[in-house]
Amino acid sequence: MRMTTGDLYRLAGDLAAEHGAQASDYASRAVMTLEAEGAHDRAQFWFLMLILLGDIHSGRVDPDAHITIH
């Protein structure tokens, strides 16, 4: 399954909207758990979510706006 950058930001935005700051805690725990289990691809996905959630919570990115990647 492939996800676009917009898909990833929408998912992160939905997580942030539903769970607030706890979404980052969930993502962080998922990274640690999956890395410990050897599920590196899945851990990498959640690490990306953690980064995007950080951008959203800090106000650097508006998940409802058009995303431009340079």
Digitized pLDDT (tens) for each residue of the chain, 70 residues in all: 788 888 898 999 999 999 998 999 999 999 999 999 999 999 999 999 999 999 999 988 887 777 766 6
- Distance, CA of 68 to CA of 26 (rounded, Å): 26
Rounded alpha-carbon distances, angstroms, from residue 4 to 18, 21, 32, 45: 21, 24, 25, 13
Question: In angstroms, how far apart are the furthest CA atoms of the chain?
Answer: 36
Q: pTM for this structure?
A: 0.85
Q: How many separate helices (H) and strands (E) can be counted in the chain?
A: 3, 0
In sequence order, the 6+-apart residues with CB closer than 8 A to the CB of 48 are: 8
